[in-house]
Amino acid sequence: MRAQLARVDAVIVQAVIAGALSFSHLHDLADAAGQGGWKAWAYPVSVDLLLVAAWRRMREQQRAGQAAGGARLWFLIALAASLGANVATAGLLDLDDVPASLRVVVAGWPAVAFFGGTLLAHTPRTPARPTDAETLPASAAVEEPQRDALPAPSIESKPAPEPAVEPIAAPAPTPTPIAPAVSLPPALIDRAQALAKQHRAATGLVADPDAVRARLGLPPSMTTAVAAHL
């Protein structure tokens, strides 16, 4: 527990130091580009907030299985702004004579940040959809008999029985399969077979017809009809 707290404390201290340095560099660059007063302090807040918002939205979309290209683009833009300010204040740029192109970029940043933040805030959130194998109830798992667990028949030495003449019995008639009482549409048949295959692929077990019938939203009287097509 103490080791975990020590790691957390170290991460927090490192984050605070890095954030303070980056905040200071952004402020110095904005001030040198002609954005003095409170505006110079607002620039690092804008860059860091866009960076954090884009990262959180990108993670949410990835967990939901959605494309996160838009959030990733704004994350890279904010990261480039923060990293560019850190590099520019490392002595490679004369802060007393900032180029006009950099002044244009700094002056246009608020519009870019506002546009990116608006897109991130109004992107619809879609919850992750569970797979069909995860939504099947636990009662649908029907364990197959394990052949290895069956006891082996014991072999005992018995005297050979006397040969006896047995009557030749007629072969038993092949039982005809019982047709379902109610026929299913082809679309429901395909859906039921797809659910059964997904459950077998996920668990290795045979899906219960009653559970498949419940997934299809059919009444209990349709269980026999569903079982006939699995």
Number of domains in the chain: 2
Asked whether residue 9 falls in the same domain as residue 114, the answer is yes
Place of tokens 């959030």: 71
Is 162 inside any structural domain?
no
Amino acid at 183: S
Asked whether residue 52 falls in the same domain as residue 72, the answer is yes
pLDDT in tens, 106-146: 889 989 989 988 888 887 765 555 555 455 554 444 444 45
Is 166 inside any structural domain?
no
Is 15 inside any structural domain?
yes
Question: Is 0.75 topped by the overall pTM?
Answer: no
Interatomic CA distance for residues 212 and 194, integer angstroms: 10
Contacts of 106 (CB under 8 A, 6+ apart): 29, 30, 33, 34, 35, 43
pLDDT in tens, 82-105: 888 888 887 777 777 888 888 888
Is 151 inside any structural domain?
no
Is 223 inside any structural domain?
yes
Quick one: tokens of 198? Answer: 């997904």
Asked whether residue 197 falls in the same domain as residue 115, the answer is no
Is 29 inside any structural domain?
yes
Is 175 inside any structural domain?
no
Residue ranges making up the domain that contains 98: 2-121
Asked whether residue 74 falls in the same domain as residue 113, the answer is yes
Asked whether residue 134 falls in the same domain as residue 36, the answer is no
Is 51 inside any structural domain?
yes
Asked whether residue 114 falls in the same domain as residue 69, the answer is yes
Asked whether residue 19 falls in the same domain as residue 104, the answer is yes
Asked whether residue 39 falls in the same domain as residue 140, the answer is no
Asked whether residue 113 falls in the same domain as residue 10, the answer is yes
Residue 98: half-sphere exposure toward Cβ, Cα within 13 Å:
20
Asked whether residue 102 falls in the same domain as residue 16, the answer is yes
Give me the tens of pLDDT residue by residue for the chain, a chain 230 residues long: 666 655 667 788 887 887 788 888 888 888 888 888 898 899 989 998 999 899 998 999 889 888 888 899 999 999 998 888 888 887 777 777 888 888 888 889 989 989 988 888 887 765 555 555 455 554 444 444 454 444 555 545 555 556 555 555 555 656 554 544 567 777 777 777 787 787 778 877 777 777 777 777 777 777 787 777 76
Asked whether residue 135 falls in the same domain as residue 200, the answer is yes
- CB pairs under 8 A, 24+ apart, for 45-49? 46/109, 46/110, 46/113, 47/78, 47/81, 47/82, 47/85, 47/109, 47/113, 48/19, 48/22, 48/23, 48/78, 48/82, 49/117
